[in-house]
Amino acid sequence: MDRSGIFAGENPFAIARTWLTEAEATEPNDPNAIALASVDPDGLPNVRMVLLKDIETEGEGGGAFVFYTNYGSAKGHELAASGKAAFVMHWKSLRRQVRVRGLVTREEGPPADAYYASRSLQSRLGAWASRQSEPLSSRGALMAEVAKVTALKGPNPPRPPFWGGFRIRPVEIEFWADGAFRLHDRFRWTRETMADPWKIARLNP
């Protein structure tokens, strides 16, 4: 093991999980927040925070990262069009970062239904009411939409068809751990396709 806690031979999804678990104990808020990047049709990058809801350590491609959003949002359109995403997690308390680049697919099955059902009723109704990323005339208009869907959908709203998950299957994962005098530790897992084995390299800081 490297002194940064990175096992060079280990499953990178397991390392990411371990680091996130450690951050849950030290970060004041949202340790699972990631800055998610996409590109628009002109190739102009776009980035925003979302909450990482699952790190899968098994499955197709050996593992994946999952978050939830509105498919009609800017990110929803951009991810669907390019099929690619990148994100970074940074934990100030631990002085660590994880960078991921990969291919995206929608998660619209039972995991999306289960996560939607686990949210508070207000959040579930909010997902119905918000046309995320579209212009809104006033806060009052949004609250009126919430009242409308509350009356329409009742106490057990189904998951909206325009709301669900994205699963990111990485072709690259890099772990960065702070070192003294900026001599940081960096380890990068790369593969050409999901079917290839990972290549692991230590990088200059």
Ligand X SMILES: Cc1cc2nc3c(=O)[nH]c(=O)nc-3n(C[C@H](O)[C@H](O)[C@H](O)COP(=O)(O)O)c2cc1C
Strands (E), 7-119: 33-39, 45-56, 64-70, 84-91, 96-107
Give the tokens for residue 13.
């999804």
Strands (E), 114-183: 163-177
Q: Which residue has the tokens 């009052």?
A: 140
**Binding of ligand X by 152 (CB under 6 A):** no
**Which region among 61-69, 81-89, 168-176, 195-203 touches ligand X (by CB under 6 A)?**
61-69
> 188, 177 in Cβ contact below 8 A?
no
71 is in an annotated binding site: no
Applying CB under 6 A, among 67, 87, 115, 175 the residue interacting with ligand X is 67
**Binding of ligand X by 190 (CB under 6 A):** no
121 is in an annotated binding site: no
> 88, 99 in Cβ contact below 8 A?
yes
**Binding of ligand X by 133 (CB under 6 A):** yes
132 is in an annotated binding site: yes
Q: Is the CB of 19 or the CB of 68 nearer to ligand X?
A: 68
**Binding of ligand X by 130 (CB under 6 A):** no
148 is in an annotated binding site: no
What Cα–Cα distance (Å) separates residue 36 from each residue in 45, 87, 100, 155, 181? Answer: 10, 4, 9, 32, 29
Applying CB under 6 A, among 2, 24, 30, 60 the residue interacting with ligand X is 30
Query: Would you tell me which residues interact with ligand X (CB under 6 A)?
Result: 30, 33, 46, 48-51, 67-70, 73-75, 132-133
Point out the annotated binding site for substrate.
Answer: 53, 115, 119, 123, 182-184
